């Protein structure tokens, strides 16, 4: 009887050990699958993972372009549906199943603000002009025509972060903050474009990166937006996630335009080629300042 009991205990230990081993292996597989699905970037050597990443990047880029062209949630939803149908057909030819759906509850309605009249001055020519308070903006670009000694300042946080753009001479414009600056050559007109979203400056040539704009990457949340200048002629545009407290001049000569727009939205994208299956929630807010 003692021998049987010893043998039984041995078998129980063996079975228990095997069971634990199976559980651990299964758990490892689950964890590996989760890591493989959520962190495809670390598996870029896998063709399927690379294709999934490219699909997610395309969804982000293309839906962003569609969002830029829409002024309502209905228009955006129509665009996403058509994009999903088109890319789905293309993927199906290669045996890949894809989908993109709009999270309707994620859509943030905003305001597009712009002035395309080059003959008028930028806001704040008589006094500091506060456009926004506690907001986010995207697609923010200012184009100005600066003579030597002229300047304008865009400030994001009251007396805090700001960028000053100054005409140094007939052929040079300086973009500066308290700690950084960069200079660009300009044509005879002195025209310069400062893209706060792309963090680039364009003078007489292609856009170039400017370290004086890098501070915007540290925002991380909401901020104010204020113009300060000396009557510099120019144009600007941006989209904000809030209402705009700007009121046009009573004389009717104000050329600033304000219209409803879509600021941001989230789409759920999925990719399945039979080998790699992945999904991702993508927040789309193209060219967001501080992103």
Residue that wins the pLDDT comparison between 131 and 245? 131
Based on the domain organization, do 90 and 215 belong to the same domain? Answer: no
Does residue 289 sit within a domain?
no
Based on the domain organization, do 13 and 71 belong to the same domain? Answer: no
Based on the domain organization, do 104 and 121 belong to the same domain? Answer: no
Does residue 7 sit within a domain?
yes
Does residue 190 sit within a domain?
yes
Examine the pLDDT at 260 and tell me if it is beyond 50. yes
At 170, is the pLDDT very low, low, confident or very high (cuts 50, 70, 90)? Answer: confident
Q: How many residues does the chain have?
A: 291
Examine the pLDDT at 9 and tell me if it is beyond 60. no
Based on the domain organization, do 209 and 143 belong to the same domain? Answer: yes
- Note down the domain range covering 176: 117-254
Domain count, the chain: 3
Based on the domain organization, do 245 and 168 belong to the same domain? Answer: yes
Based on the domain organization, do 62 and 9 belong to the same domain? Answer: no
Based on the domain organization, do 156 and 212 belong to the same domain? Answer: yes
Based on the domain organization, do 206 and 89 belong to the same domain? Answer: no
Does residue 147 sit within a domain?
yes
Does residue 104 sit within a domain?
yes
Does residue 163 sit within a domain?
yes
Based on the domain organization, do 207 and 162 belong to the same domain? Answer: yes
Q: Model-level pTM?
A: 0.78
Whether the Cβ atoms of residue 230 and residue 153 lie closer than 8 Å to each other: no
Based on the domain organization, do 61 and 28 belong to the same domain? Answer: no
Based on the domain organization, do 249 and 220 belong to the same domain? Answer: yes
Measured at the alpha carbon of residue 220, what is the angle toward residues 70 and 289, in degrees to the nearest 5? Answer: 40
Based on the domain organization, do 128 and 157 belong to the same domain? Answer: yes
The pLDDT of residue 6: 54
136 CB contacts (<8 Å, ≥6 apart)? 222, 223, 240, 241, 242, 263, 285, 288, 289, 290
Nearest one of 68, 70, 72, 112 to 257, comparing CA atoms: 112
Rounded to the nearest 5 percent, the helix, strand and coil shares of the chain are 30, 35, 30
Q: In Å, what is the CA distance from 284 to each residue of 61, 110, 216, 220, 266?
A: 8, 14, 19, 16, 6
At 86, is the pLDDT very low, low, confident or very high (cuts 50, 70, 90)? Answer: very high
Does residue 84 sit within a domain?
yes
CATH of the domain at 176: 2.60.120
b/e sequence 121-157, b meaning 16+ C-beta within 10 Å? bbbbbeeebbbbeebbbbbbbbbbbbeeebbbbbbbe
Q: Helix, strand, or coil here: 291?
A: coil
């Amino acid at each position: 009887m003692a021998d049987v009991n010893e043998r039984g205990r041995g078998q129980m230990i063996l079975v228990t050990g095997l069971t634990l081993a199976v559980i651990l292996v299964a758990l490892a597989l689950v964890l590996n699958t989760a890591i493989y699905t959520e962190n495809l970037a670390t598996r870029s050597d896998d063709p399927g993972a690379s294709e999934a990443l490219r699909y997610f990047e395309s969804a982000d880029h293309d839906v962003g372009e569609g969002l830029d062209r829409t002024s309502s949630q209905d228009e955006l939803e129509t665009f996403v549906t058509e994009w999903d149908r088109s890319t789905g057909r293309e993927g199906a030819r290669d045996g890949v199943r894809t989908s993109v759906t709009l999270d309707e509850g994620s859509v943030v309605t905003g305001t597009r603000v712009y002035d395309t009249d080059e003959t008028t001055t930028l806001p704040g020519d008589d006094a500091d002009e506060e456009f926004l308070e506690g907001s986010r903006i995207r697609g923010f670009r200012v184009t100005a025509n600066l003579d030597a000694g002229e300047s304008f300042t865009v400030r994001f946080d009251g007396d805090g972060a700001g960028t000053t753009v100054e005409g140094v001479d007939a052929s040079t414009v300086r973009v500066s903050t308290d700690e950084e600056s960069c200079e660009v050559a300009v044509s005879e007109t002195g025209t310069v474009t400062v893209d706060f979203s792309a963090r680039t400056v364009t003078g007489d040539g292609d856009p170039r990166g400017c370290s004086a704009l890098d501070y915007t990457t540290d925002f991380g949340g909401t901020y104010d937006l204020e113009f300060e200048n000396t009557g510099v002629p120019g144009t600007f545009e941006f989209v904000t996630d809030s209402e705009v407290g700007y009121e046009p001049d009573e004389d009717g000569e104000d050329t600033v335009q304000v219209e409803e727009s879509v600021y941001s939205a989230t789409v759920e994208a999925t990719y399945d080629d039979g080998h790699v299956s992945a999904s991702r929630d993508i927040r789309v807010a193209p060219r967001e300042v501080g992103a």
